Amino acid sequence: MKFLKKYIIIIILAIAVLINSTNCYAAPDRTLKDAFGEGSSLSNVAGDSGYNNKVTSIDPIIGTIIKTFLSLLGIIFLVLMLYGGYLWMTDRGGGKDVEKAKGVIQAAVIGLVIVLAAYTITFFVINKLGDTL
């Protein structure tokens, strides 16, 4: 039970770092208008530096949400692979934990394939909608 609590705490901390780190980077597609008002000195500096300080579409927001979600799923995949490898390496020849480890690794790989397929479909649909709008 303690082992499971440690993994849950690690996953929660990884999610917190991931969510907070997306706010630390300035992206050219983000707007400064809402936070600082049009014509403010910070907005002018951003415009002079080449950052787009006008909202042109919802695509950058959707892209950021999808990237954050995929990053989170990548972290979960990595944790599951490490857990499966740990189970496999600490089996000590019993064979019972090896089967459990194989199941965890197979489930993680299947989940990764499903996520990549969903990303591909989403990318295709967004590109086709962007062409028609």
Q: Which residue has the higher pLDDT, 90 or 67?
A: 90
pLDDT in tens, 37-68: 555 566 666 666 766 656 566 767 777 788 88
pLDDT above 90: percentage of residues in the chain: 20
Is the per-residue pLDDT at 22 higher than 60? no
What is the pLDDT at residue 46?
Answer: 65
Average pLDDT over residues 4-16: 72
CB-CB contact of 17 with 74 (8 Å): no
